[in-house]
Amino acid sequence: MAVKSLLVEKERINLRGVLRARLGELHTVWAWVPMLPFFVFAVAFLLLPSASIVVRSFQGEQGQFTLANIERIFTRPDLLRAYENSILLSIATAIFGGVLGFLLGYAITLGRLPPSIRSMVLTFSGVASNFAGVPLAFAFIATLGQMGLVTRALNDLLGRNIYHSGFSIYNFWGLSIVYTYFQLPLMVLIITPALDGLRREWREAAEGLGATAYHYWRYVALPILLPSLLGTMVLLFANSFGAYATAYAFSGSQINLVPLVIGFNIRGNVLYDPGLGNALALGMVVIMAISIAFYSYLQRRSELWLK
Amino acid sequence: MSFLRLEHVHKRFGSTIAVQDFNLEVQMGEFVSLLGPSGCGKTTVLRIIAGFEQPTAGTVHLQDQDITHQPPNRRRMGMVFQHYALFPNMTAADNIGFGLRVTGVRREEIRQRVAALLNLVQMPDLGNRYPHQLSGGQQQRVALARALAIQPQVLLLDEPLSALDAQIRVELRGEIRRIQQQLGITTIYVTHDQEEAFSLSDRIVVMNHGCIEQVGTPFEIYNYPATSFVARFVGAVNQLRCEVLDPHRGQLRCGNQLVTMPGPLALQTGAIATIMIRPEALQLGERGGANRLAGQVCAITFRGPLVRVQLHLDNSESLVVDTLNTRQLQLPQIGDQQLISFAPESVWLVNGGG
Amino acid sequence: MAQVTRRPSAWAWVWLVIWAVFSWLPLVATLDFSLRARKGMLSLKAYQNIFADPGFYNSLAFSFQMALLTIVISIFLVVPTAYWVHLRLRRARPLVEFVTLLPFVVPAVVIAFGLIRWYCCPPFAFVSSPLLLVAGYVVLSLPYMYRAADTGLRAIDVCTLTEAAQSLGASNLQTFFLVILPNLRASILSGAFLTFAIVMGEFTLSSLLAWPAFGPYMQYVGVFKAYESAALAIISFALTWLVMLLMLWLVRGWAAARAVTAPR
Ligand SMILES: Nc1ncnc2c1ncn2[C@@H]1O[C@H](COP(=O)(O)OP(=O)(O)O)[C@@H](O)[C@H]1O
Ligand SMILES: [Mg+2]
């Protein structure tokens, strides 16, 4: 009898435990409710529209599964060229902006400049990194265009027009300079905190142990910075890869870029072809996804160290 | 001849004077602590020795060689920082081997030396861990091993234990001393904790506002403090304002009570003087010596090995008495009149030796 | 003997000068160009033309409205979510961070493309409503707004503050509005200003969705009028600066006020 009542008791405890667990689950479900507006919005205006592109790139006109859209990209040299241009331009400006931004970030953090200069550079960078798009294009046309201030100044100075020596603001290198204008400040903004994270004691510990500046940078500072350095450059890559407004404003541009092709497609020009547009957009998303996956991997590496 | 010598070292940062006329000679193998409140310039002195700061004036000599302007990476001084400053991208072993690697020691030799050092700091199996995988105490052990790896001429430690919790602090403290004596390495140790300085050092330099207040053995510093600042900084001390009664016999009047000093005083009759006495030199009851004072008990604080009794004297000055805690201890009640006694030898005059 | 004194920062100055030239030259050139609308002399003619154009005011007003709407909706969506993530749903953080990072990953062109495709036809025929544009802008603002809110929340001890408020009898909503929100003011403001700057100059979405916003207006002017477009670039740059400085000024004022009232 005693045993039986004990069993019953045990059962009851069990039941109570189960009940409590269920209630707990309910509780955690409730905890998600305040997040609903955010997630509903994200699904409706970001996730579904983007995901639909992925799905529709694999659909034919009647909704059947097909790889034709994607194949079409690979059979059209002009589209392949657009991807190539976009990727190369993004790599080039990520490197320019990255290296120059790093040097500037170094100068304002470790260069022993007055603190007022540092805050001035950072504030200006905040503005300049948002100064992309149409007005930026105008500014560079006024600077390095056919009739630009610098073009004319160089003409007077060197006695010859840089446009006759192959330079143009509308070609690859010209566009690289323009993009660098907003890439550099972005790099400065992101890399400055990382450079601030280099602790003075690390340098001193290294020096105390007999290391030269080279040793310190080679074995300590660069390895520590490398993940955030590369990570930021991936971000710069993405930033320029997706840039539409700046490229569009150079409507006379001789180089074709993926965002422009997609834009033409949306605007319903001669190029109008929904299947192709989907596939082109998918291509962009894939390239961006790869670079961001790389970015977050690097980010995690650097957080691991800098804890 | 001294091993390390600082002469008339001054350092100013803009308008702040961090160190002022600092003179110190350290013998080979000696363990010297710089002790003082936060902001008194201890770290600055240490960094000048290490070469991270240049003195505004003055010189630093090591083995009679002027190293004032020698860059830090040629000085061979191992430094241990408060927050470890381990390189986060290297394992413990790589951290320890760093100084050897940059000076071109062979790989195999580095490996052996690192293993020996890991043993020395009692972490033989943790060489492959990254700093963020180690506890604070372990990180500081690695930092110590890293500093020792280059067989430094001087080991510099800047509050190495103050980021650790109490138990680890005591444990590691003992180990630092053990290793220092085992290797016979000249050591400068910065701390604001007098207990740490006392338990580790051969000699202590007490600093305040960038100046040296006193240099001496722990015994001298505690029992013969040169200034009232030193006396107060290294332990609890009672201060009493008295009037000189008879300078030749060393007698003073404190309120209506008589206090006798061990010798004659260089003061006039009627002059006001401040005397000092440590709480543990006072005894409850009358068996502590020739001096007697009476007061009313106003607080009793239990502190483990000691019990602190606070009294108000009749002239509204107050006094604390530390008594060894034993099971048989008979404590007074708050409000009781209590007699205390002490030897004339344990009293000293402020700023006047004693 | 090698001197230990820290290397002079001469090269830092060199970099700074190079940067300053690269940064300011285009602006100077644009300013110069914008003043040359009259042949052979400096004049404000280009600016006068712009200011006489009703299209300028209309597009500016349109973008301004869109920006305000975007900011309100974005704050409403992001701040409570970020707060909740900090307080209760730490597990959800990676997910929320992923979502808010997406607009950085998915280019604006693609977002525009997706929105148009998804909302072009019944049952969601929505393309002709300006709300779709606002929704797109809110999407673009997510990374900035979330970052800002997150930074602000990290700076205060959300859990303790909330517990303190609740132990004093405040409800969830009271806690949020009376305790948390006032402490986040500075960071929300910086997110809002950033959003404002982005929306005011935005071109991709507004042009692809065919709205007469300020970005497309600038582009349109650029096609026909060289000097006026330079003037517009200057105006737009000045506008961004104005917004930035206004924000810095406000945030600093608040920070100073807080330092006085609540020393740490
Ligand atoms: N790099 C520096 N710049 C300006 N002032 C400094 C610098 N380093 C130290 N000081 C000042 O010098 C004084 C002594 O500092 P420090 O040596 O760090 O003191 P401690 O280590 O004893 O706490 C302090 O007032 C501190 O503010
Ligand atoms: Mg210090």
- Between CA B148 and CA B155 the distance in angstroms is 7
pLDDT beyond 70 at A7: no
DSSP string, A73-135: HHH-HHHHHHHHHHHHHHHHHHHHHHHHHHHHHHHHHHS---HHHHHHHHHHHHHHTT--SHH
**Nearest atom, ligand 1, residue B14 CA:** 4
Q: What are the respective helix, strand and coil percentages of chain C, to the nearest 5?
A: 80, 0, 20
| pLDDT for position C4 | 39
Closest ligand to C-alpha of residue C6 is 1
pLDDT digits (tens, 9 = 90+) for B123-152: 999 999 999 899 999 999 999 999 999 999
Handedness of CA B134, B138, B139, B143 (dihedral sign): negative
- Between CA C79 and CA C192 the distance in angstroms is 11
Element (H, E) at A154: helix A149-158
What residue of C is the nearest CA neighbor of A292? Answer: C105
Query: pLDDT band at residue C247, thresholds of 50, 70 and 90?
Result: confident
Comparing A203-217, B166-180, C97-111, C140-154, the range with the smallest average pLDDT is: C97-111
Handedness of CA A258, A260, A261, A262 (dihedral sign): positive
Contacts of A307 in chain B (CB under 8 A): 88, 132
- Between CA A168 and CA A250 the distance in angstroms is 12
Beta bridge partners of residue B212, listed in sequence order: B207
Q: What is the least distance, in Å, from the CA of A191 to any CA of chain B?
A: 18
pLDDT digits (tens, 9 = 90+) for A91-114: 999 999 999 999 999 999 888 888
Looking at ligand 1, which residue's alpha carbon is closest to its atom 3? Answer: B13
Comparing A227-231, B12-16, B166-170, the range with the smallest average pLDDT is: A227-231
User: Which among B11, B15, B16 is the best mutation to test ligand 1's pocket, defined by most ligand atoms within 8 Å of the CB?
Assistant: B16
Query: pLDDT band at residue C262, thresholds of 50, 70 and 90?
Result: very low
Terminal-residue alpha carbon distance, chain B: 31
Handedness of CA C124, C128, C131, C136 (dihedral sign): positive
CB C205 within 8 A of CB C141: no
The gap from C-alpha A104 to its chain's centroid, in whole angstroms, comes to 20
Q: Look at strands B203-208 and B211-216 and give their pairing.
A: antiparallel
Per residue in A24-42, is it b (16+ CB within 10 Å) or e — as a string? Answer: eeeeeeeeeebbeebbebb
| Residue ranges per structural domain of chain C | 57-213
Looking at ligand 1, which residue's alpha carbon is closest to its atom 7? Answer: B13
CA of residue B211 to ligand 1 center, whole Å:
13
- Mean pLDDT value across residues C149-173: 84
- Between CA C215 and CA C67 the distance in angstroms is 13
In what order do the strands lie in the sheet containing B348-349? Answer: B257-260, B251-254, B238-246, B272-277, B348-349
- Between CA C48 and CA B125 the distance in angstroms is 78
Query: pLDDT band at residue C88, thresholds of 50, 70 and 90?
Result: confident
Terminal-residue alpha carbon distance, chain A: 60
Query: What are A51's two structure tokens?
Result: 């995901």
Q: Look at strands B203-208 and B31-35 and give their pairing.
A: parallel
What residue of C is the nearest CA neighbor of B72? Answer: C4
Comparing A247-256, B178-187, C225-234, the range with the smallest average pLDDT is: A247-256
- With a Cβ cut-off of 6 Å, ligand 1 is lined by B 13, 16, 18, 36, 38-44
CB B24 within 8 A of CB B6: yes
- Between CA A245 and CA B6 the distance in angstroms is 65
Beta bridge partners of residue B207, listed in sequence order: B212
| pLDDT for position A123 | 86
Amino acid, res. B229: F
Q: Contact A112/C219, CB-based, under 8 Å?
A: no
CB-nearest partner of A205 from B79, B89, B101: B79
- Between CA C21 and CA C26 the distance in angstroms is 9
CB C230 within 8 A of CB C30: yes
**Nearest atom, ligand 1, residue B159 CA:** 21
Comparing A132-136, B176-180, C130-134, C260-264, the range with the smallest average pLDDT is: C260-264
What residue of C is the nearest CA neighbor of B75? Answer: C4
CA of residue B210 to ligand 1 center, whole Å:
9
| pLDDT for position C1 | 35
Q: Contact C118/A52, CB-based, under 8 Å?
A: yes
What residue of A is the nearest CA neighbor of B90? Answer: A220
- Between CA B25 and CA B45 the distance in angstroms is 13
The helix-helix angle for B136-149 and B92-102 (nearest 10°) equals: 20
E strand map for chain B: 4-13, 16-26, 31-35, 57-62, 65-66, 77-80, 154-158, 186-191, 203-208, 211-216, 238-246, 251-254, 257-260, 272-277, 283-284, 291-303, 306-313, 318-324, 337-342, 348-349
Q: Look at strands B186-191 and B203-208 and give their pairing.
A: unpaired
Residue C66 dihedral angles phi and psi, to the nearest 5°: -60, -40
In what order do the strands lie in the sheet containing B31-35? Answer: B77-80, B154-158, B186-191, B31-35, B203-208, B211-216
- Between CA A161 and CA A144 the distance in angstroms is 11
pLDDT digits (tens, 9 = 90+) for C93-138: 888 988 998 887 788 888 888 888 888 877 777 778 889 999 999 9
Selected for mutation to probe chain C from A50, A192, A272, A280 (highest C CB count within 10 Å) is A50
| pLDDT for position A10 | 55
Terminal-residue alpha carbon distance, chain C: 47
Top-level class of domain A77-303: mainly alpha
Contacts of B70 in chain C (CB under 8 A): 1-2, 4
pLDDT digits (tens, 9 = 90+) for A254-266: 678 988 888 887 7
The helix-helix angle for A172-196 and A115-128 (nearest 10°) equals: 130
Which residue in this structure is represented by tokens 């109490």? B166
- Between CA A108 and CA A124 the distance in angstroms is 13
- Between CA C233 and CA C235 the distance in angstroms is 5
Decide if A304 touches B, using CB distance below 8 A.
Answer: yes
| Residue in C215, C72, C134, C65 with CA at minimum distance from that of residue A45 | C134
The gap from C-alpha C94 to its chain's centroid, in whole angstroms, comes to 24
Q: Does the C57-213 domain belong in CATH 1.10.3720.10? A: yes
**Selected residues 190-249 of chain A with any CB under 8 Å from a CB in chain C:** 235, 238, 241-245, 248-249
- Between CA B71 and CA B52 the distance in angstroms is 8
**Residue C123: is the preceding peptide bond cis (ω within 30°)?**
yes
Selected residue with higher pLDDT from A131 and B89: B89
Mean pLDDT (chain A, rounded)? 83
- Between CA A86 and CA C64 the distance in angstroms is 32
Tell me how many degrees the CA angle B266-B272-B276 measures, rounded to the nearest 5. 80
pLDDT digits (tens, 9 = 90+) for A191-226: 998 898 888 899 999 999 999 999 999 999 998 888
| pLDDT for position A69 | 82
Decide if A219 touches B, using CB distance below 8 A.
Answer: yes
pLDDT beyond 50 at B352: no
Q: Chains that contact C by 3+ CB pairs under 8 Å? A: A, B
pTM above 0.90, yes or no: no
Looking at ligand 1, which residue's alpha carbon is closest to its atom 6? Answer: B13
Query: What are B214's two structure tokens?
Result: 């006193």
- Between CA C83 and CA C77 the distance in angstroms is 11
| Residue in C101, C135, C142 with CA at minimum distance from that of residue C115 | C135
- Between CA B52 and CA B40 the distance in angstroms is 18
Q: What does R_g of chain C's alpha carbons equal in angstroms? A: 23
Q: In chain C, pLDDT over 90 holds for what percent of residues?
A: 31
pLDDT beyond 90 at B195: yes
Q: What is the least distance, in Å, from the CA of A94 to any CA of chain B?
A: 25
Closest ligand to C-alpha of residue B208 is 1
| Residue ranges per structural domain of chain A | 77-303
* 3-class secondary-structure state, position A258: helix
Selected for mutation to probe chain A from C17, C110, C111, C202 (highest A CB count within 10 Å) is C110
- Between CA C64 and CA C243 the distance in angstroms is 12
- Between CA B277 and CA B1 the distance in angstroms is 37
pLDDT beyond 60 at A34: yes
Neighbouring CB atoms inside 10 A of C32's CB total 15
pLDDT digits (tens, 9 = 90+) for A134-158: 889 989 988 988 888 888 888 888 8
